[in-house]
Structure 1
Amino acid sequence: MRVALALIPLSVGLMACEPQPTGTPRMSAAEAEVHCTQQAERYANKPLLIADENGVVQVGLQAELPDSFMVTDFYKRCFFANAKRRPTSIPKLPAFG
């Protein structure tokens, strides 16, 4: 019984500890939006290197491009890495997948 009572404050303390973004933001939200939009556009036009079942990587017209979810996810990760917060809105990003 005493052990259970001793573990309750410990468990509550661990639940209160949430991972916080470390460090200071490298850019403001406006700067991160411009930077990450440009990076996401480059990412959307860059072919993915995916090997098929025979181990062959397709290039040229046979290569696969990222889909819209992948481009949006790339933008969100870029924004969070640079501004240390989540974007409030996501601009219209190109996706050719």
Structure 2
Amino acid sequence: MTKTTCFDIFEQCGVAVQAGELIESVSVQDKEFHFQNWFQKRLQTLAIHFESSGRNRYPDFSLVDYAEGYEIKGLAWPGRERDYDSNSQVPTGYH
């Protein structure tokens, strides 16, 4: 069976929320980096090695020891788009 990190990461996200580590925007202009920063802390907590791909690249986090990557997207509030971002490549699963 192929190894995956998704279950551990999902669990760690839940643990962080239960511990009160919520996602907070640092400024009005910040439309995605606060989501990425919060997710990066989850990877670091689990000691998962990753490479950040940089601004407007897919995925946001390429894992070093696994054939996986994570693209982080967020909404200003549920069901609403805060800002349409046409600079990001649409996730296809092929890369």
TM-score normalised by length of structure 2: 0.30
Greater fraction helix: 1
Greater fraction strand: 2
- Bigger relative CO (Cα 8 Å, ≥ 6 apart): 1
